[in-house]
């Protein structure tokens, strides 16, 4: 027997489509029409010649891209920083939500939740200035290290420490939002499962592993798999506000490189080719991760 499918009544639901119309128009104007600019990646684009009259060079920009050792190094930087943010950005909110869920005093729980969520609302322009001051050789962090007789660390001037600083500060800024998602998932766990586990003699630690973790595992899998689509997004706002010439070798990512080549050096065709390469890889990864989310967590949009 075939399943009964509801028919969409256009005459009844036209107000809903009318409400969506402004958003669709804005999306078309600002997201789809600019895609015509992709043609620049296949041209030796000159601003005075325009899209139509610039010299067509085919895949030359992409050949230059894949033969440039600097681009290979930048892609490596992006992958290292992105993977670090993804892994810790998945583990830290999950672990913190599990710990916060064990706090029984609601007032304390809400205060802690508010404090960890606050950095999420601070822009990287402001936060970058704060971190630059705090992590400088004479900043409060290094002053504390000196008080403990530990050698000062040049967090924003040492290539190795800079990438760790990027990952750590991003996780600190963003994990409060991830904690909210996991706490919402924890609120939906059936209390009868805990009661049954307690009757069986399970301790709080055992209840966490036997009841809590399996209950929020689908949400955790969804967040982990969908985040893979951003593997080439190192975080332009953060890196642009913290990077300096001392750490550009290990700290520059694809987004900052495109910005520098396109707007500062005027290599519009090459920067467009780099951006197009990143977009294609991102679309492929998003498609793969969506399939993974549908398979392992039964998550579907359509």
Query: What are the average pLDDT values for consecutive 10-residue runs of the chain, which has 302 residues?
Result: 53 79 91 86 83 84 84 88 90 89 84 88 90 87 88 86 91 89 85 82 81 82 77 85 87 87 83 86 81 70 58
Residue 147 tokens read as 């008080």
DSSP class of 158: S
At 102 the pLDDT is 82
Contact yes or no for 169/131 (Cβ under 8 A): yes
At 1 the pLDDT is 43
Contact yes or no for 92/176 (Cβ under 8 A): no
At 300 the pLDDT is 66
The domains found in the chain, sorted by start residue, are: 57-296 (1.10.3720.10)
Pairing of strands 55-56, 43-44: antiparallel
At 170 the pLDDT is 92
At 168 the pLDDT is 92
pTM, two decimals, is: 0.81
At 28 the pLDDT is 92
Q: What are phi and psi of 4, to 5 degrees?
A: -80, 125
At 25 the pLDDT is 94
Contact yes or no for 156/242 (Cβ under 8 A): yes
- Enumerate residues 6+ apart whose C-beta is below 8 A from 101: 183, 186, 212
At 262 the pLDDT is 82
- Enumerate residues 6+ apart whose C-beta is below 8 A from 251: 77, 159, 162, 163, 166, 239, 242, 243
């Amino acid at each position: 027997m075939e399943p009964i499918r509801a028919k969409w009544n256009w005459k009844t639901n036209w107000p809903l489509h009318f409400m969506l119309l402004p958003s669709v128009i804005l999306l078309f104007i600002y997201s789809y029409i600019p895609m015509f600019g992709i043609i620049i990646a296949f041209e030796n684009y000159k601003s005075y010649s325009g899209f139509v009259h610039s010299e067509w060079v085919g895949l030359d920009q992409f050949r230059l891209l894949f033969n440039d050792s600097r681009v290979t190094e930048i892609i490596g930087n992006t992958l290292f920083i992105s993977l670090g943010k993804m892994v810790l950005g998945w583990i830290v909110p999950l672990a913190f939500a599990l710990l916060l869920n064990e706090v029984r005093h609601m007032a304390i729980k809400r205060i802690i939740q508010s404090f960890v969520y606050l950095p999420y609302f601070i822009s990287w322009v402001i936060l970058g200035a704060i971190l630059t001051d705090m992590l400088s050789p004479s900043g409060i962090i290094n002053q504390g290290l000196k008080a403990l007789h530990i050698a000062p660390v040049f967090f924003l001037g040492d290539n190795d420490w800079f990438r760790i600083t990027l990952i750590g500060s991003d996780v600190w800024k963003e994990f409060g939002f991830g904690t909210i998602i996991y706490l919402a998932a924890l609120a939906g766990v059936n209390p009868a499962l805990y009661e049954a586990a307690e009757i069986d003699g399970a301790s709080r630690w055992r209840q966490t592993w036997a009841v809590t973790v399996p209950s929020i595992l689908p949400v955790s899998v969804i967040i982990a798999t969908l985040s893979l689509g951003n593997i080439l997004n190192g975080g332009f706002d953060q890196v642009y506000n913290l990077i300096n010439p001392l750490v550009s070798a290990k700290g520059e990512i694809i987004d900052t490189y495109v910005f520098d080549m396109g707007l500062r050096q005027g290599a519009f065709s090459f920067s467009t080719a780099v951006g197009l390469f990143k977009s294609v890889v991102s679309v492929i990864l998003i498609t793969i991760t969506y399939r993974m989310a549908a398979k392992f967590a039964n998550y579907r949009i359509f």
